Structure 1
Amino acid sequence: MEQVAELAGQVAHGPNDFWYLLTVFVLAVFVGFYVVWSVTPALHSPLMAVTNAVSSVIIVGAILAAGPDVIGPSKILGFFAVLLAAVNIFGGFLVTQRMLAMFKKKGK
């Protein structure tokens, strides 16, 4: 049992940290792909709204990454992450609002 814990520690924080993170990323891509494609068409609008909420969480993380006083790669990438996520959030909410307006009954 002790060997399993030691091996798990090496995998999570070992010299091949890149491969560990790449594996998690690839698994997340596959899970996300199958979750989105298995959603019924009636639930696509709420799914897109949740996607916009996830982008809001990304903005918080990017602001934290851009927070240090030293200007470096993390601050520059954090700025671009905030910029792109903001475009995604506001554009997504605008598209969702227009889609919901299509389903409203027009008053006579």
Structure 2
Amino acid sequence: MAKQLMSLPDPPTAIFAANDMMAIGAMKGVQTMGYRIPQDISIIGYDDIEMSNLSNPALTTVHQPKYNMGTECLKNVTCLHKWKVKAWIQRKRITLENHLIIRESVGMVR
């Protein structure tokens, strides 16, 4: 998909992928077309998986608090087990903070 985007008459200057694996795939795709990251295009992922720091260049990404996500999930499953289905039927919004991890795949705004 990144190759298709870069083939447009007016290609983007940045790609924000839905997850880090997709962002790493986009990086590979644009690099095979001869584009330089971040000089020609910035790429950002979402997850902050271990591999994002090992990509070349290192991927800028949004960190998800995976441990906290697991903790909240366990609390909800425990509640479901204790109170059966009634408590689970009520929708509950849980918001966890994430943050941007700036690495090497994002350049200056042109």
TM-score, scaled relative to structure 2: 0.31
Q: State the structure with more CA Rg.
A: 1
Higher relative contact order, structure no. (Cα contacts within 8 Å, ≥ 6 residues apart): 2
Higher helix share: 1
**TM-score in terms of structure 1 length:** 0.31
Greater strand percent: which structure? 2
